Amino acid sequence: MRAVIIVLAGVLFAFAGRAQEYDVVLANGRVMDPGSGLDGVRSVGIRGAKIAAISETPLQGRSVVDCAGLVVAPGFIDLHSHGQTPENYRFKAKDGVTTALELEVGVSPVPEWYHAREGKALINFGATSGHIPARIAVMHDSGTLLPRDEAVNRAATPEEVRQTYELVRTGLDEGALGIGMGIAYVPLATREEILQLFGLAAERKAVIYVHMRNGGPVEPGVVDALQEVIADAAATGASVHVVHITSMAIRETPLCLRMIEGARQRGIDITTEMYPYTAGMTDLGSAIFAEGWQAKQGGIGYGDLQWALTGERLTAETFARYRKIGGMVAIHSIPEEVVRQTIANPLVMIASDGILNNGKGHPRAAGTYARVLGRYVREQHALTLMDALRKMTVMPADRLGMPNKGRIAVGADADVTVFDPARVADKATFENPAQYSQGISYVLVNGTLVVNHGELVDGIAPGQPVRRPVVK
Ligand SMILES: [Zn+2]
């Protein structure tokens, strides 16, 4: 007993001796924390992987980063990041993102996906249990990210529906962050099947992240599609997050936001997100480009499609040729005023929907967050800096049910983004999407600097898997 007391006293003494020294101190930055409303010059002390102190007086650190003149914000959380490779994680970190999640399409099987990234990732990562990948596997579709043939062209048999449900359920119970769903990509999935998956989400208190059944103004269009997911959420009690509202609703976005707001006022747990661009992107080989796509995309034509591989605009002839091969195509369909209005709506979170593949893809993969902060906050004053940060940090953290993320608070995970508000800007373009954002000065993931003095740090992997908290 006595020995124990002596040992304990020794530990306490040693602890007290270095209690005032932190591993990293972010000194004298303008700390902006939308969760608490804090906006003031502070020093932030980090110990291990956690924020340990927020102080108006100087802190001692083994490593001190001078943040004078810079904004110190919670690291950005991207709820919609298809790019889950080292290449993508580098572009995310340079855009201020500390957690990148594949929630829309999701993955299957779940444990293998997490295992492949554990101990190797620059930033935090995670995924939902995906209806689409389960469907691709069960129906032997030849698609990779998105279905291309079997899962598009024929209805699933009752046995295939059952097997798909079982795969989704298993992935959810293995720690996936909810259920991912892209109904438009499996257009023959019945309303009953989708309703059953909402029931599963409700049972497990998990969130459904959904790319809805239809978009655009022509019925069946975005209004019907939004009614489906609101009705399913109401009928089952499931929580639902509608992805990329502007690319689905286009000019109908204000109407859809009023529907979402009304549903929320009546107790439905529904949220949404957007990316700050006037074009979407998806696979030209997918069901999105079935007969009648021009009207469904709000009245666009071949020339509004841009082939990601070469940057060329399409014609009827190249459309037919490339659709057979499949590949990413930008869809220039969203009016600028829709982007600007929607970004200012307090309901709407920021998420990228990005993926880069050997430098090819949509600029949103590299530039989403810096573009909001530079173009829409600093240049256009479409929203305040604090409101923009809220949409990138505490709102997605709350959607995930993670009180330790998206905050500058004592005890929170030390995921922090430090940027220069006068310089932050996106550089990625449709012609050359693989360009790092500028003005992101320091990024810490679980207390480790992954961007230092504006440069990526090589040879480290502090990113941790993000799994679903167990809800009782
Ligand atoms: Zn989508």
pLDDT tens by residue, 290-336: 999 999 999 999 999 999 999 999 999 999 999 999 999 999 999 99
pLDDT band for position 14 (50/70/90)? very low
CA 211–ligand 1 middle distance (angstroms): 5
- Given this model, what pLDDT does residue 20 score? 77
pLDDT reading at 6 higher than 80 = no
CA 181–ligand 1 middle distance (angstroms): 9
CA 80–ligand 1 middle distance (angstroms): 9
CA 130–ligand 1 middle distance (angstroms): 13
Stretch 117-141: mean pLDDT = 98
CA 248–ligand 1 middle distance (angstroms): 8
CA 185–ligand 1 middle distance (angstroms): 9
Whether this prediction's pTM lies above 0.75 is answered by yes
Stretch 56-62: mean pLDDT = 97
CA 204–ligand 1 middle distance (angstroms): 24
CA 72–ligand 1 middle distance (angstroms): 31
Averaged pLDDT of the chain? 95
CA 125–ligand 1 middle distance (angstroms): 19
CA 278–ligand 1 middle distance (angstroms): 15
User: 32: closest CA among 406, 413, 368?
Assistant: 406
pLDDT reading at 16 higher than 80 = no
Taking only the tens place, the pLDDT of each residue in 188-208 is 999 999 999 999 999 999 999
CA 354–ligand 1 middle distance (angstroms): 10
CA 404–ligand 1 middle distance (angstroms): 28
Taking only the tens place, the pLDDT of each residue in 157-183 is 999 999 999 999 999 999 999 999 999
- Of 19-23, 35-39, 47-51, 351-355, where does mean pLDDT reach its minimum? 19-23
CA 37–ligand 1 middle distance (angstroms): 32
Taking only the tens place, the pLDDT of each residue in 406-423 is 999 999 999 999 999 999
CA 245–ligand 1 middle distance (angstroms): 9
pLDDT band for position 7 (50/70/90)? very low
pLDDT band for position 470 (50/70/90)? low
CA 178–ligand 1 middle distance (angstroms): 16
CA 374–ligand 1 middle distance (angstroms): 25
